[in-house]
Structure 1
């Protein structure tokens, strides 16, 4: 399910925030893809996803048109996304804060008020052994549609790896 940060249902077994710079390119892709993976597996009701940016430049704006186009080509709908800024107050309600590059990792770990919250911050590519050495998902903002498509592919693969790690535990909790 997609929820605003202040609406995170604490009864949802697992809550993930995806974070990039402006919340108009990479993190919306990750949020939408994870939501789709969960729904297709019949687990959409046990994973809540949100996304945000480290900056506030695009708050309230839709995702970049190239993001929406790449998502649509791959069968996802990003048309309803509206950018927001990640808030440190989100941490207690999250199980994971998945960041798209090391700059976001540094920022969120600095924003975290406790060691427990710092431990929630993870690089997306770390979940995918094949892509982990890359560390960062490149920011396609200053590039073309082909780069957005390539970034979407990276995010899809890493999200599948993350979902594959989460799904067994989440299925055990589903009756």
Structure 2
């Protein structure tokens, strides 16, 4: 099973989802069954590490994002990954634009896995303060836990 998280620049939200979900998967002992990656729909930050504020907020909660490097989502991802999860509606639309017609990857919004939160989108913290990065972590942790449960159920069936 392969999961790809996608935001705009791949330096805040999607690497946070990548790092959080990677730890959840490892803590569940499923790291040999679930592969995780992240990407952005824009090419601005290719090869760069996650935003320092993102890394600092994640580190305070025990997540290491230091090994991640930004990359751009490409059409081939739709053949490589089983689930491609966008952080917001704009990036979901961008992904629909590059999705090949015959692709089988399941494309959707990440927060669809946390309907109880009452939000559809993970807000971009880039231009905000520290609280925005904490909010992203809160949302990603909630959705990540539910995503892991769903993937584990589908794997067992």
Work out whether residues 79 and 103 of structure 2, in 8 Å CA contact, stay in contact via their aligned partners in 1.
no
Q: What TM-score, normalized to structure 2?
A: 0.95
Q: Are residue 122 (structure 1) and residue 108 (structure 2) matched?
A: yes
**Equivalent position of 1:99 in the other structure:** 86
Corresponding pairs, count: 157
Distance 2:141 2:99 in 1: 27
Structure 1 counterpart of 2:143, from 149, 158, 169:
158
Residues in 2 aligned to 1:72 and 1:58: alpha-carbon distance in whole angstroms = 21
Q: Residue 98 of structure 2 is aligned with which of 105, 111, 117?
A: 111
Q: Secondary structure at the match of 1:19?
A: strand
Q: How many Å separate the matches in 2 of 1:31 and 1:98?
A: 11
Q: Is the 8 A contact 2:82 2:106 kept in 1?
A: yes
Q: Structure 2: where are the runs of 5+ without partners? A: none
Residues of 2 paired with 1:107 and 1:163: CA distance? 25
Q: Alpha carbon RMSD of aligned pairs, Å?
A: 1.4
TM-score, normalising length from structure 1? 0.85
Once the two structures are TM-superposed, the CA of residue 26 in structure 1 deviates from its matched residue by: 0.2
The runs of at least 4 consecutive aligned structure 1 residues that moved more than 4 Å come to: none
